[in-house]
Structure 1
């Protein structure tokens, strides 16, 4: 039996109650999943995304179908987060989802369950075959460049390995887009093509816009626009200007690509570090945001402060970038984030760039 703090809370049911009321138990990733489903959104916290398949469901179709599956489970079949959490921990999530849907008539199972039966790998936790997936991306990109569809894979790889870096980045971008996928933070395309400005939900929309653009241009058009910092101009020329304008900060990224502001690399580093990708900060991130000052576990403390910044709904990455240029990162952060251990963070946030530096701060050739 569930205790509710009011009749209104009971009518809203347990999902809203978990978050709105003062509960004594700790919220789980399944609770966060259920709340996102109730609000018709994707989850935004990394543990939930990892534990419930969203990080494996890379394609547009899969990322739209997976929430629908969970909606059927939580909203229609009334399965509670506590049960979902237990299934995941016991490694029986796939089997239990099948039991729930198989217990109702086939006509009532909707379109998401058949998708799930064909894509159980999204949730079963088994390793994917990277060679097979990579081969599909390479061939799609190769065909889009005008290459022979029947070319052997060794020939495709040998050819593209000789290409300039920016051409190779565009090639990979086109390959995954044509298969209805979009870049993850671990991909080299995530920053220069503007996915760094998105949240989990708007990433899907931006991916769809890129897919539409590629139907209207050649690989040569796309690559030359990227190489010459004219991607925004290309989007506008093909009629996508109003769509792009809806994304905060995206136009600024597209105007600079293939160069990028270090604040977007900072965001990328923080996401990857939180997802257990063992790697040091990017060189410009280290210099601009003070990681080069860190000793022992101080890097974790500095990362936590910057994560708190990006977690704010009204965070302004460009204002943080400007603070880098002006050499007052600590002062800016104090004004927008509640910092602990200010004495240490003041020392750590000192950067090597200032207004008198001959090097242009914060702008990297990607």
Structure 2
């Protein structure tokens, strides 16, 4: 069970029980996912605007973990119901932090979505913070439309679309950060040879 939990949070199944316990004991109570990890988005840290907000959210998770079973937490995480779990345990969480609401944050938990929305373009923490703030400003705006953002991503025009909603994206770094491999080349099914099937 400990190894399963350790793997769930990103550890390796090759580590012994003693190594896992030692690694856990070395971690600070204020530990939270790295911005490069999918969990950064899943657990709502991507919507925090400062390190102080990140620490407050981390503290809320510590209280939640003390109030629920590991299975409850894992099930809520898997089913995208962490916000509901917080509420069911009587623990308030800021709705703006969009705890595990990938649609609201604009990302999916798959690595492909990290490419689609530019997170893999970030070369350092400063760039991740800038991109994060741009998306947060988009979702905080009454004009921020997640469906339109998705369409812009598919068309390879995230920067062009976000610039119509969020001010201050003139810096060329934003154009680079919001690049993705879209639009994909057209696939013509008539060109394929189905004779072998």
User: How would you bin the TM-score normalised by the shorter chain?
Assistant: 0.5 to 0.7
| Aligned pairs for 1:275-314 within 5 A | 275=125, 310-311=132-133
Equivalent of 2:124, from 274, 288, 293? 274
| Aligned pairs for 1:203-222 within 5 A | 203-222=54-73
Matched residue SS, 2:54: helix
The gaps in structure 1 that reach 5 residues or longer are 1-137, 143-152, 159-171, 277-302, 354-366
Larger radius of gyration: 1
1:176 is displaced (CA, Å) by 8.9
Matched residue SS, 1:316: helix
| Aligned pairs for 1:14-33 within 5 A | none
Query: CA separation in 2, counterparts of 1:351 and 1:340?
Result: 21
- CA 1:201/1:263 → structure 2, altered by over 3 Å: closer, same or farther? farther
Equivalent of 2:101, from 231, 252, 263? 252
The 8 Å contact of residues 177 and 211 in structure 1, kept in 2 or not, is answered as no
The 8 Å contact of residues 80 and 100 in structure 2, kept in 1 or not, is answered as no
**Greater relative contact order structure (CA < 8 Å, 6+ sep):** 2
Equivalent of 1:332, from 158, 161, 171? 161
Query: CA separation in 1, counterparts of 2:181 and 2:103?
Result: 29
User: What is residue 104 of structure 1 aligned with on the other side?
Assistant: none
Query: CA separation in 2, counterparts of 1:156 and 1:232?
Result: 33
1:217 is displaced (CA, Å) by 0.7
| 1:58-83: CA deviation from partner (whole Å, max 9, x where unpaired) | xxxxxxxxxxxxxxxxxxxxxxxxxx
1:260 is displaced (CA, Å) by 3.3
1:254 is displaced (CA, Å) by 9.3
Query: CA separation in 2, counterparts of 1:268 and 1:349?
Result: 10
User: What is residue 315 of structure 1 aligned with on the other side?
Assistant: 137
| Aligned pairs for 1:23-102 within 5 A | none
| 1:188-209: CA deviation from partner (whole Å, max 9, x where unpaired) | 5322211111132200000000
- CA 1:155/1:316 → structure 2, altered by over 3 Å: closer, same or farther? same
Query: 2:182 matched to 1:351?
Result: yes
Aligned length: 155
The 8 Å contact of residues 183 and 189 in structure 1, kept in 2 or not, is answered as yes
| 1:153-202: CA deviation from partner (whole Å, max 9, x where unpaired) | 625789xxxxxxxxxxxxx9x99988442222144532221111113220
Query: 2:46 matched to 1:196?
Result: yes
User: What is residue 154 of structure 1 aligned with on the other side?
Assistant: 16
- CA 1:193/1:349 → structure 2, altered by over 3 Å: closer, same or farther? closer
The gaps in structure 2 that reach 5 residues or longer are 7-14, 185-197
| Aligned pairs for 1:165-204 within 5 A | 179-199=29-49, 200-204=51-55
The 8 Å contact of residues 181 and 207 in structure 1, kept in 2 or not, is answered as yes
The 8 Å contact of residues 323 and 329 in structure 1, kept in 2 or not, is answered as yes
1:324 is displaced (CA, Å) by 3.1
The 8 Å contact of residues 38 and 109 in structure 2, kept in 1 or not, is answered as no
Let me know the Cα RMSD of the aligned residues. Answer: 4.7
The 8 Å contact of residues 44 and 97 in structure 2, kept in 1 or not, is answered as no
